[in-house]
Amino acid sequence: MNTLRVGLVQMHVGYSKEENLQKAKEMVQKAVSKNAQLIVLPEMFNCPYDNQFFPAFAEEEGGFSWQELSRMALENEVFLIGGSIPEIDDQGCIYNTSFVFNRQGGQIAKHRKVHLFDIDVKGGQYFKESDTLSAGNEATVFDTPFGRMGLIICYDIRFPELARLLVAKGAKFIIVPGAFNMTTGPAHWEILFRTRALDNQVYMMGAAPARNEEAAYVSYGNSIIVDPWGKVVQRMDGEENILIEDLEPAKIERVRTELPLLKHLRQDLYTLTEHPYVTPKNGRY
């Protein structure tokens, strides 16, 4: 596979789940018309990013939004990363969950946000996901014809240990549905994507909601792709749009060969071997 054409959907999110899903469907179709093979929706694309809405919008796996996402993938014959939605389990716990579908509309992965976004910045953003949401406990990877991919959600990107676990499990691309705000976004969004790409020599892809200054939580937008060398390949602004870009899977191995930092990990000084997914051999992941 010489190239992978991806489409990152940056869409406005309103107060109607049905209208949000219809908007997502239309933008997925537009991305497909531009020959996108893998499409990423933003975090909480079907629900306003606000604690008061998470319980009201929450659905079980296999529910209405899940079925619509499956149908979008099947009808358009694309790999679809369904941003994230509020997911409720049979115990009543609500998670910030991303479902992944293959070209046949089958679910091939599911990631529940591991790190809950609880911040209180003086003079800036206050938000506590833990008021309504529960945390996941899996490092999520899935296989595609383009290579193995890792999936995290928004605040998860701030924890380098999680990204490294994905790489230890074979990820060559890390996908991040996210919704940074106007306090954290300008300060940290690009830095984090470039740093995780450099740390792990992977493509980093972030899809965010479009900016709505009238919303209770204002998304920074700026959906982004960074290559394994740490270069910003393409980045949007705050407006609703679709980012289309061709990625070169071969570039990952080229960078890892030229600058073999993953071979230089010092397992005698630090290790991830206590994690059940990681089985390094000869100091190498």
Element (H, E) at 101: strand 94-101
Task: Determine, yes or no, domain membership for 279.
Answer: no
Q: Provide the residue range defining the domain that includes 16.
A: 4-263
State the pLDDT confidence band at 272, using cuts at 50, 70 and 90.
Answer: low
Residues 6+ away with beta carbon under 8 Å from 51: 127, 128, 129, 131, 132
Instruction: Name the domain count of the chain.
Output: 1
In a domain, 269, yes or no: no
pLDDT recorded at residue 205: 98
Q: Pick the more confident residue, 173 or 281.
A: 173
CA gap 271, 275 in Å, rounded? 9
User: For residue 226, is it within any domain?
Assistant: yes
pTM of the model: 0.93
Between the CA atoms of 49, 51, 52 and 54, what dihedral angle is there, to the nearest 10 degrees?
70
Nearest to 203 by CA among 254, 238, 242: 254
Looking at the DSSP bridge assignments, the partners of residue 111 are 98
Note whether residue 59 is domain-resident.
yes
Give pLDDT tens digits for 251-264: 999 999 999 999 99
Asked whether residue 80 is assigned to any structural domain, the reply reads: yes
Q: Tokens in use for 235?
A: 């980045």
Average pLDDT over residues 126-139: 93
Q: 170-190, pLDDT tens digit by residue?
A: 999 999 999 999 999 999 999
Residue 238 maps to a domain: yes
pLDDT of residue 57: 98
Nearest to 218 by CA among 238, 237, 188: 238
DSSP conformational letter for 154: G
Burial of residue 170, with CB atoms counted within 10 A of its CB: 0-12 exposed, 13-18 middle, 19 or more buried: middle
Residue type, 11: M
Instruction: State the pLDDT at residue 280.
Output: 45
- In one letter, which amino acid is 45? F
pLDDT tens-digit series, residues 200-248 = 999 999 999 999 999 999 999 999 999 999 999 999 999 999 999 999 9
| Cβ neighbours of residue 141 closer than 8 Å, sequence gap 6 or more | 109, 148, 149, 150, 151, 166, 169, 170, 171
Residue 116 lies in a domain: yes
Known catalytic residues are: 43, 113, 154
Total residue length of the chain: 285
What does the pLDDT average to over 149-165? 97
Q: What CATH number did the domain enclosing 104 receive? A: 3.60.110.10
- What's the CA gap between 134 and 87, in Å, rounded? 10
Please report whether residue 248 resides in a domain.
yes
